[in-house]
Amino acid sequence: MTEARFTSSKKLTIIWIILIILTLSSALVGYFKLSGLYIVGFVLLTVIIKGQMIIDYYMGLKNVRGYWRLAMLGFIFVIPAIIYTGYVLSSSLTF
């Protein structure tokens, strides 16, 4: 029981560290004012990974019954996908 508790809070801490690292990677993109579709794709990928971690482990939906997890993941996958499509289309319009 004690072991299980320790593992669970340890997992939350490891996820927090990963979230911080991913955020700092996006911060570096901002700091160096990088732009372009590859950069946009990279940043949006970090958004999807971060979102999935928050939904699964912080919200606790990883093993939940029903379609709530899918609905939540829908937001974090579909919105970045639409954003990326918008950026691709707008960049192709400028050339």
Partner 1 sequence: MSEVVSEVADNVIEEKEPLPGDLAIWFFIMAELLVFGVFFIVYVFVRSNNLELFNTFQLKLHREAGVINTLALITSSYFVAMGVHAIKNNNIKQTGRMLLLALAMGFVFLFVKIWEYSHIFGAGIHLSTNTFYTFYISLTFFHFMHVMMGMVILGALYYYLKQGVYSAENHRGIETGASYWHMVDLVWIVLFPLVYIIR
The residues binding partner 1 (CB under 8 A) are: 5, 8-9, 12-13, 15-16, 19-20, 23-24, 26-27, 29-31, 33, 35, 39-40, 43-44, 46-47, 50-51, 54-55, 57-61, 63-66, 68, 71-72, 75-76, 78-80, 82-83, 86-87, 89-90, 93-94
32 by DSSP, 3-state: which? coil
The rounded distance, in Å, linking the Cα atoms of 69 and 41 is 24
Smallest gap from Cβ 28 to partner 1, in A, equals: 10
Q: Which residues lie closer than 8 Å to 44 by C-beta, 6 or more apart?
A: 80, 83, 84
Tokens encoding 39? 């950069």
Please report how close the Cβ of residue 60 comes to partner 1 at its closest, in angstroms: 5
